[in-house]
Amino acid sequence: MSQSSRKKLLLMGRSGSGKSSMRSIIFSNYSAFDTRRLGATVDVELSHLRFLGNMSLTLWDCGGQDVFMENYFTNQKDHIFKMVQVLIHVFDVESKSINKDIEIFVKSLTNLQKYSPDAKIFVLLHKMDLVQIDKRQELFTIMMDKLQKISNPYHFKLIGFPTSIWDESLYKAWSQIVCSLIPNINLFNSNIIKFNSILDAEEIILFEKTTFLVISSTASIKQQQQQQQKKVSNGKADKEETEELDPKRFEKISNIIKTYKQSISKLRTNFNNLIIRGSNGTTFYLDILTENMFIMVVLKKKEEMLNGASVEQNEESLVLDNIKAARKWFEKIENSK
């Protein structure tokens, strides 16, 4: 058990495609602007990250210059490609030599099939900000079709994301990558659904503490359930209520809170909680849930409760108490592994 909780992630791609920049932003609190200072990665840079307490990720950031690349596929191949849980392959959308890029991708697929056939493959089309907005989706579809076709002979299913360090797409991609590694995600999901019904909240989101990647949210669980129901009963397609809200909001929240964390680090401190009473009756509670998680609860004010400020004050402490009470449940799940 303890062995499998150690995950090996390979981060690969041609030189200059932005691999180290991603790593620095997600795991080392760099801002997108700071990544200009990063130099070329020499050979493989290992970083050990603790995620959700007892899950430890080893990220192998593989330098992408041809000299090193050759080495990975020849001398070091059993060292590099053994026991891999996840391969994250980064493509630079501006790259001039796509054939060369794909050739390397194929080489790593070949090796992966041989040494760790159960690995999950994620493809990131990076630097999307350099493509015109209206052409992004088209380019992404074309590229993904092509890559899926190439990888079919190797029996790998690809999951792809368009990413850029200048917006929240990077958080979306990494949040899904990391979530695919959490073993007891279903327990978390069922517990926040329960918690949500107690609080009657608009939405609850769970974040990992250091990276602020989204682990789980009530909206995404509901979506999954609906899709499953549709498959089973093919029933009435009632319109999802949350569709009115910004579909990118999770990534945006990750981004905003990370900015906030960086901002108050100037006062040499960190934050414990954040309560925002919004301008149209929405209240946000961001609080520590466990040692490794933050929770965000969004409450919508119901019509009949709009009277009196004294009620609001009480409600705030009520919700905070509820979160405190929920803590022990989530801590139990976290330590259960």
Partner 1 sequence: MEAAIVPHPKDTNATILLMGLRRSGKSSICKVVFHNMQPLDTLYLESTSKPTNEQFSSLIDLSVMELPGQLNYFEPNYDSERLFSSVGALVYVIDSQDEYLNALTNLSMIIDFAYRVNPKINIEVLIHKVDGLSEDYRMDAQQDIMQRTGDELLDLGLEGVSVSFYLTSIFDHSVYEAFSRIVQRLIPELPSLEHMLDNLVQHSSIDKVFLFDVNSKIYVATDSSPVDIQTYEVCAEFIDITIDLDDLYIENDQSNNKNGVRGAGESKELRSVSHLSSGSTLYLKQMIRGLALVALIRNEGFNDTAADSEKSLTIIEYNVDLFKQALMKMWTPK
Residues near partner 1, by CB under 8 A: 202, 244-246, 249, 252-253, 256-257, 259-260, 263-264, 266-282, 284, 298, 313, 317, 320
CB of 249 to partner 1, least distance (A): 5
Q: Could you tell me the CA-to-CA distances from 278 to 104, 203, 253, 294 in Å, in that order?
A: 50, 15, 15, 20
CB of 158 to partner 1, least distance (A): 31
CB of 139 to partner 1, least distance (A): 24
Helical axes 98-115 vs 133-151, angle rounded to 10°: 40
Structure tokens given for 310? 């004294």
CA dihedral 128, 101, 172, 51 (to 10 degrees): -140
With respect to partner 1, which residue has the nearer C-beta, 6 or 277?
A: 277
With respect to partner 1, which residue has the nearer C-beta, 7 or 249?
A: 249
Whether the CB-CB separation of 185 and 174 falls below 8 Å is answered with no
274 Cβ neighbours under 8 A, 6+ residues apart: 260, 284, 285, 286, 287
- AA identity, residue 36: R
CB half-sphere exposure, 110, CA atoms < 13 A: 10
Structure tokens given for 326? 């929920």
For residue 48, what are the β-bridge partners? Answer: 58
With respect to partner 1, which residue has the nearer C-beta, 233 or 269?
A: 269
CB of 277 to partner 1, least distance (A): 4
With respect to partner 1, which residue has the nearer C-beta, 118 or 303?
A: 303
CB of 37 to partner 1, least distance (A): 15
Q: What is the C-alpha separation between 169 and 101, in angstroms, rounded?
A: 22
Distance of CA 185 to the CA centre of its chain: 14
**Angle, alpha carbons 102-181-265 (nearest 5°):** 95
CB of 142 to partner 1, least distance (A): 30
With respect to partner 1, which residue has the nearer C-beta, 198 or 276?
A: 276
With respect to partner 1, which residue has the nearer C-beta, 123 or 204?
A: 204
CB of 301 to partner 1, least distance (A): 8
With respect to partner 1, which residue has the nearer C-beta, 101 or 168?
A: 168
CB of 263 to partner 1, least distance (A): 4
With respect to partner 1, which residue has the nearer C-beta, 75 or 313?
A: 313
Q: What is the C-alpha separation between 119 and 157, in angstroms, rounded?
A: 10
Q: Closest Cα to residue 66, out of 12, 21, 15?
A: 15
CA dihedral 309, 313, 319, 324 (to 10 degrees): 180
